Amino acid sequence: MVTGAAEASFEIRRAVPDDRAVLRRIRVEALTDAPYAFGSTLAETIGRPEQYWRDRITAWPQFIAWAGTEPVGIAAGLAEDPAHTEDPGQGASGSWQLVSLWVSPRARGNGIADRLVAAVGDCARADGAECLTLWVADASVRARAFYLRMGFRGTGRRQLVRPQEPDHWEEEQLLDLS
């Protein structure tokens, strides 16, 4: 159990292809804990082959939070494609998206989420990004409060988390990195 441990006892590392089984395991744990918070489902995730996880790690930055040898959190980010945005001022070139963030319930409250967001933000800044966006589910009350504390603000854009679930909405939020 890691609850109450000092923030310094955690390490954030960028995932490498050999971390694919750990990344899969912690993603399954995240979807089991908070299925409403992610666009993918547990069934989809469990069925993905090993190569999917290797490709995911090499395609865009994935970060794993460790408490000793135990993975307790994940985050991922990627540069946004300006061709897939409706408003050039929101998510245009020079923008990254935080596409995944989760911390195990047993490790929450120790600053891990802050450090995972910082790791993605550092990659974004190094890539020349001026802002970091994300989508947060309406049902994710704790996450919404966390992002507000981190300085994210709503952009006014909303979408369905999953098209097959018409009552499950999320809001885009933005953090200025400059």
Which CATH number characterizes residue 31's domain?
3.40.630.30
Per the prediction, the chain carries an average pLDDT of 88
Range of the domain at 110: 7-134
* pLDDT band for position 10 (cuts 50, 70, 90): very high
Confirm whether 168 is domain-assigned. no
Quick one: average pLDDT of 109-129?
96
pLDDT value of position 1: 41
Number of domains in the chain: 1
Instruction: Say how far apart CA 151 and CA 118 lie, in whole Å.
Output: 12
